[in-house]
C-alpha cells in the first residue's frame, strides 16, 4: 500500500514538473463565447421571447418567437468575428476605464488599423457590484464594406435580458435603409 502511494506521489510530482509549460493567456474577454452561452441558456429555458421591429414611424411590430428560433434571431451576433482567435492576435488594442455615472467598468477593444477590420469597436460593461464583476452588457460596432455597398451594424447584448441590433445599409445610388429590432426574454417591458 505504501509503495503504491509513493509511486502515485512520484507520478504526480513528475507530471506537475513537466506540465509547467508557459500557457499564453489571451487578455481579451471572449465576447462571442459569452453570447453563445447566453443563447444556450435561452435554448434550455422557458422564457417568453418577444421580438420587436422598430419602424421609421411610430409603428412597432411585436411578435412572440418560439425558443427554437432564438438562435436564428441572434444571427447578427453569431456572425461577428471572434477577435480572441489567434488570427486576430496583435490587430486589436484593449483599454479599460470606470464610468461613475453608470457605475460600470468598461473594457474596450478597437482595431489598430480600422480600415482592415470588420469589428470597429467592442465594449464590455462590467457591473462591479453584486456578483463579483459580472458582465452586464456587450456593445459591438461593425462595418462591412464592398465596392458598391456599406453595411453598418450596431449591436447591444444585455446579459440575461435582451439584445438589440440596428442595421444600416447603404447601396450605391440608393437611399440608406435602417432596420432596428430587439429581442427580449429576461426583462419586463
Report the candidate in 67, 69, 73 with the shortest Cα–Cα distance to residue 52: 73
Burial class (CB in 10 A: 0-12, 13-18, 19+), 19: exposed
| pLDDT tens digits, 65-124 | 999 999 999 999 999 999 999 999 999 999 999 989 988 899 999 999 999 999 999 999
| pLDDT tens digits, 37-51 | 999 999 998 899 999
Decide if 52 contacts 62 (C-beta within 8 A): yes
Q: How far, in Å, CA of 28 to CA of 85, rounded?
A: 10
Q: What is the pTM of this model?
A: 0.80
Residue 132's pLDDT band, with cuts at 50, 70 and 90, is low
Q: 36: helix, coil or strand?
A: helix
CB neighbours of 41 closer than 8 A, spacing ≥ 6?
160
pLDDT number for residue 9? 30
Provide mean pLDDT across the span 139-160: 94
Amino acid at each position: 500500500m505504501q509503495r503504491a502511494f509513493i509511486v502515485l506521489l512520484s507520478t504526480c510530482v513528475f507530471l506537475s514538473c513537466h506540465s509547467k509549460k508557459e500557457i499564453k493567456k489571451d487578455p481579451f474577454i471572449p465576447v462571442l463565447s459569452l453570447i453563445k452561452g447566453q443563447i444556450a441558456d435561452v435554448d434550455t429555458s422557458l422564457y417568453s421571447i418577444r421580438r420587436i421591429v422598430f419602424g421609421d414611424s411610430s409603428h412597432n411590430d411585436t411578435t412572440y418567437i418560439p425558443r427554437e428560433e432564438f438562435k436564428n434571431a441572434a444571427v447578427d451576433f453569431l456572425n461577428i468575428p471572434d477577435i480572441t482567435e489567434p488570427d486576430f492576435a496583435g490587430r486589436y488594442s484593449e483599454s479599460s476605464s470606470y464610468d461613475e455615472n453608470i457605475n460600470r467598468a468598461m473594457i474596450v477593444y478597437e482595431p489598430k488599423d480600422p480600415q482592415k477590420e470588420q469589428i470597429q469597436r467592442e465594449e464590455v460593461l462590467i457591473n462591479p457590484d453584486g456578483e463579483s464583476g459580472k458582465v452586464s452588457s456587450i456593445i459591438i460596432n461593425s462595418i462591412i464594406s464592398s465596392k458598391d455597398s456599406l453595411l453598418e451594424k450596431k449591436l447591444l447584448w444585455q446579459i440575461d435580458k435582451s439584445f438589440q441590433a440596428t442595421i444600416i445599409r447603404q447601396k450605391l445610388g440608393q437611399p440608406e435603409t435602417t432596420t432596428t429590432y430587439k429581442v427580449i426574454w429576461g426583462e419586463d417591458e
